[in-house]
Structure 1
Amino acid sequence: MNAAFLRASRRLQRASLAAKLGALGSLIMVVALGSIAFTVWVTWQLEGGAAAVNEAGRLRMQTWRYAQVASAQDLPQLPALAQQYDATLALLDAGDPARPLFVPRDEDTRAALQAVRSRWQALQRAISEGATPLQAGQLAGDLVIEIDHLVTGIEAHLQRWTSILSALQFTLLALALAAGVALLYAAHLFIFQPLARLQRGLEAVARGDLGARVDVETHDEFGEVADGFNHMAMRLEDLYRGLETKVAEKTEHLRTERERLAALYEASRRVAQAASLDELAQGFVRQFREVARADAALLRWHDAEQGRMLMLAADRVPAAMLEHERCLAPGDCHCGNGAAPGGPRTITIHALTDGDTGDSAGTCRRFGFQRVLTLPVLLQDQTLGEVDLLWRDATRPVLDDDRALLEGLAAQLAGGIESVRAQALQREAAVSEERGFIARELHDSIAQALAFMKIQLQMLRGALRRGDPAATTRVVDELDAGVRESLADVRELLLHFRTRSDGAELAAALRATLQKFQHQTGLPAQLDVRGPVLPLAPDVQVQLLHVVQEALSNVRKHAQARQVWVTLDPRPELSVTVRDDGRGFDLAARNSDDGDDGHVGLRIMRERAAGIGAEVEITSTRGEGTQVRIAVPSRPASVALAA
């Protein structure tokens, strides 16, 4: 007996608190549910017995009615009344769980029901054999007496169930009191006592007694907490003198310094290896965000010529916010104002009021950002751009050491931007030199055209000697057409191959190209610029202008157009569209004709576009004109800075 109790006690100690409370609660719930189920069943029996008493009472009424109708010799009604009586007896015999209706199944009640059925049959036989009204009334009275016996038996049975139900209710009350006492005792045993031990231990540690320990009496959750408390107290006792804490602080400081040096080294490596401004900007903006532990970061380039801040790169900025922040004018927002004098600025957005000027950082506030740190990117007192770091938690601090590191990274970024810009200018110079060489070569090739003209002049002299006016006129016309065509080709080729970027933006270069085209052809040309455009790398811009010039050349030679439209659209990708209202052509037939000059022009446009990663889309319909669309992907080579 004692051994079994000890085993049960050990199992109870090893059980978790949830298991203990669950077992106790389950036991109480099972007992309660069982009691409630039994109570419901007893109530159901009582309801069925009450319905049976009601039906038995109805038998009295049917008996006297049957006897009265028989005495009145109203024989046609007797079968219907007998049928109703039999149905009531059958209902009492079988019961009806749906109502519910039950007749007790004990022997006395069943005997009483059988006696009622026998008396009923005797009454039916007597009436059918012609009994007198007096005899029928006596038999009906005997039947009613049997019905009273049946009702008395059912009521006695119901009285017993009622007594049982009352006793069960008192039992449930006692169980509820016992369950409350059991829960209180279990709470005291499993919760309050362990909490009191832990509280005494905490009070001892608070008094400075680091040797205080808590007894671990169980292996439940409180036992685990007590064991953790003991380990904590032991650890505090070991670290009491604080030497280990100081070593840890020094180690953390050294680790931080190492991370900062690694960040500067990574920035230097990125500047040395960056092939384009896009790559450099994206890498730096990610590093800025990681060093500052910010939620988002943006890098903006300052376009001094247009007085705007254009976004170069962003990290973890919502897409909807990117669209709004892509181009800002100074004063539109508290960030994007890198041209303003001064160093880094911290703006707490949630403290701003709606009366502030500009957008009042409404965009940042809409996307949940509460603080912004702006870092200007400076090179020799010249503002190149600005880095904006955004936090959703305005209380997160930016340490002075981190701020100094961010300023150092901004200086590295400025040097990297200048380096990429210098490389782009070098590539532009090389491309320009190559274009000049090709232009000179093409200029020398004009000798072939001059040879053709020399032959025509010899033929002209021969016609003059022969006195042939018709031949003379024909040769002069051919010379005139050849000279005009050659002059136009020479002007176009020289303009085409000597085109170079002089630092002007793409829109200005297209405007100059269209002015020259109008001067040469006399055709009206219209330029439509649909938004600000980030500067392109010089070589990319030159190639794009060449493709546009080739399209304009095809308009001059073949289109027979009355007007030309050029559209520059920076969104969703940079595109230039050249459209005319000329005669158009069959694109499929032109592609199959390798010897056609127009086909050569189309091939040249596609080759030049492919060289910068762009695509050329040509649509044309006979009699409705031609459209050439050149689509340049986002920063195909690099985004250049204006000189």
Structure 2
Amino acid sequence: MKLPPTLTARLVATGTGLLLLALVSISLTLWVTWNMQGGAAAVNEAGRMRMQTYRLALVLHTTGNGDEARALARGFEESLALLEGGDPSRPLFVPWSPPSRARFTAVRTRWQALRARWLDGTPDPDLVQESAGFVALVDGLVAAIEAQISRWTTVLQMFQLALVGLAITSAVLMFYSGYVFVLRPLAGLKKGLAAVQSGELRTRVEVDSGDEFGELAAGFNDMTRTLQSLYLDLEEKVREKTRRVEHERQRLADLYEVSAFVAEAPTLDALARGFAGHVRRIARADACAVRLRAEDPRRFVLVAHELLPDDLAAANACIESGACHCGEVTVQSQTRVIPIASAERPTLGYCVRAGFTTVVSVPVRIHERLLGEVNLFYRGPVDLSNEDRDLLDALASHFASALASQRAAALEREAAVAEERGLLARELHDSIAQALLFMKIQVGLLRQAAQRGDHAAAERGIAELETGVRDCYADVRELLLHFRTRTSEQDIEPALRTTLQKFEHQTGLPARLSMQGHGVPLAPDVQVQVLHILQEALSNVRKHARARHVELRVQPAPHWRFEVHDDGAGFDPQRPGADATRVGLRIMQERALRIGARVQVHSAPGAGCTLVLELPATGPAAMPAPAAQALA
């Protein structure tokens, strides 16, 4: 008979398998990276061919030096040979694909034809045009190589995602292996030990493996059999005590389970449905209905039910107070047991036809305010003890608190959505709307020029429209990037670095962050406004400054101070006008007013520009009444 593997062997086998998968994934990633490095070197070499072509054309066009031209031609041919054969030591090799192979063949064929003409010593009047066309072929080769590198980049990203998935899968598998091989047997032993500690000496643990835990379970069973034989005369007392303890434990577990559920329920519908199921199971009812008070306090709406017949649920979707036993609850009402069949006054009769004989009404209230009721239906008589009533009242109280929390959360979400919509409206109005208005004016001018037949004016209008479209598209991308920016509750530095990285990616300009000292962390809402002001300042630099360098200086103490400095063209702050720069400055000033801050601009033509944002020394101050009225 083959012996089952030990626990150690199982864990080692699982870990080894995961390690092999990780090594294979890492090897594939390194291989793709190697191909990308070779492709990048090939792009550089192809770009060198373009430079050699320009130099050869320049030599032939100016001096006609045959020796220098032949040296340049040999260098070009060496580059062709290097691209075709590759150089693994660098590494350098072309990631061949049908487009790149075809473009390389076209370049080599065209070079052979041009070389014979350019180096035969005869002046070529079409040298400039031919060299430009040949450079275009080289550019096509570079583009084909870059396209293949892009595909390799996509493959690398897929491998990286696969590595992430592998890491997650490995963690889950390790957790699962630990649960199956260790935690579950250990939980069985722990459960058995708990049962023995509570007096259940008949407890036996299932031996379902031959590993160390199986041996431990077998020893545990031997121990419980010995204890049972020793304490057989105390078995009845232990059983009674166990029942009482189990009853109390079950009550506490039910209360904890419902409390945890109502605290985590995502929606009102999920809360009501889940609560109905939990209460019906705990109360051992045949059906359960949860009703909430409508806007009209005399009506109760059925929001969820469990095992209630469909016709009964449809007929009782909304009942008026006094029409039936359900809906007669008030703020002062207590949990009641109502015998339906023996009721003296007439009812709607739906419960009787459904076979129910008893209904338990549990009021749902909070802070002396009635929210609804929970109805438990039984097909037999019910006798509730005081403990059962207390448990049902406690469950209803937790449900009422969850309802109040759901409503408060809904109000908060509504307020947050309204605020976010207002923010979006302001951003769109201050950026994209102005660009669209500009394009609308240009369209009108273009139509007038077309009607007059003024082609020059029409061309200028088209150019202005193209500029407006580019600016509008840039504003949209900038808004998307800005709204994706997230702040830290502890430190604003990571968000600032992210903002500068996005600026460098958009403009290609170097941007440096300089922070001096440490200060009190900013509140999240203040961080958001500060980031938007700095982003608007960087946007103005990108659009108007024509700068070469940008620096963001941050001084946290004694109070927060932010400076955005550029070495661009600058402007005169006193010059009247309402261009896009001043619109951006107005937006920044409005945002600064909301957090009690101050924005200043220092600039002069040809001397760059410095924007200063200063926050109050003790945090955001209360907004002055005139400023609040102006923003409103």
TM-score by length of 1: 0.33
TM-score by length of 2: 0.34
Bigger radius of gyration among the two: 1
